[in-house]
Amino acid sequence: MPVGSLMTEVILAIVSIVVASTIASVYISNMNQAADLQKLQLAKIKEEIEYDCRIVFAYSSISSDIVKLWVKNTGAKQVSPQLIQSSEILLISYNSVKYLLHEDPSSGWTYRLLNDVDDDGRWDPAETLEITSNLDEALTEGDYNVKLVLFNGKTCEYFFSV
C-alpha cells in the first residue's frame, strides 16, 4: 500500500473523529439547554400549583363605590401578608377597567382573614380572605368581571352583575 494512500486514510479518519466529536458536543449542549428549559417550566408549574386562589363570591350594589370579594386559598402553600399586599385587582366592565392596588389612597383595597385557623396572620390553604375594594366612583348597573392577580401572576376571576 502506498504511503500517500495511507496518509489520506489517516487524515480522513482524524477528520471523521473531529466532526463526530463536534456533533456530539453540540448535541449534548442542546440536550442540556432543553433540560434546563424543562426544569424552568416545571418550577413555574409547581409555583402555580403551590399558589392559587378562587373567588368564591363578589358583591356590590348600584351606586356603591365598594366591591367586596371573598377569596379562598386553593393552593398548597400559605401566603404571607407582604405577598397578599403585592396582589392587584382589576375590575372590568364593558366600558372601563379599574386597576386597584392594596391601600391605594384614591382607589384601593384592604383585606382581612376570615378564618385564620392558626392565628399566624398568613393566608393558609383553605382559608378565606374578605377583600374590600374602595373605588373612586360608584358602580353603575351592568355586568362586571373582577380579577385578583396574585404576586406570581396567577389570576382568579369572578363575574357578577350590579
Domain shared by 57 and 45, yes or no: no
Domain shared by 46 and 64, yes or no: no
Domain shared by 46 and 67, yes or no: no
Domain shared by 43 and 64, yes or no: no
Instruction: Assign residue 98 the CATH number of its domain.
Output: 2.60.40
Q: Residue 4 pLDDT more than 70?
A: no
Domain shared by 90 and 12, yes or no: no
Domain shared by 57 and 102, yes or no: yes
CA distance 149 to 136: 20
Domain shared by 79 and 126, yes or no: yes
Q: Residue 154 pLDDT more than 80?
A: yes
Domain shared by 40 and 61, yes or no: no
- % of the chain residues with pLDDT over 70: 96
CA distance 113 to 102: 15
- For the chain, what is the domain count? 2
Whether residue 141 contacts residue 62, with contact meaning beta carbons closer than 8 Å, is answered with: yes
Task: Give the CA angle between residues 153, 144, 84 to the nearest 5°.
Answer: 30
Q: What is the mean pLDDT of residues 41-59?
A: 83
pLDDT tens digits for 52-93? Answer: 999 999 999 888 899 999 999 999 899 999 999 999 999 999
Domain shared by 90 and 144, yes or no: yes
Domain shared by 9 and 40, yes or no: yes
Task: Determine the structural domain holding residue 57 and report its residue range.
Answer: 53-161
Give the other-Cβ count within 10 Å of 102's Cβ. Answer: 16
Domain shared by 34 and 107, yes or no: no
Q: Which of 5-14, 119-128, 131-140 has the lowest mean pLDDT?
A: 5-14
pLDDT at 2: 67
Q: Residue 160 pLDDT more than 70?
A: yes
Domain shared by 63 and 95, yes or no: yes
Name the average pLDDT for the chain.
Answer: 87
- The residue with cell 495511507 is 6
pTM for the full predicted model = 0.71
Q: Residue 115 pLDDT more than 70?
A: yes
Q: Which of 9, 25, 50 is the last residue of a domain?
A: 50
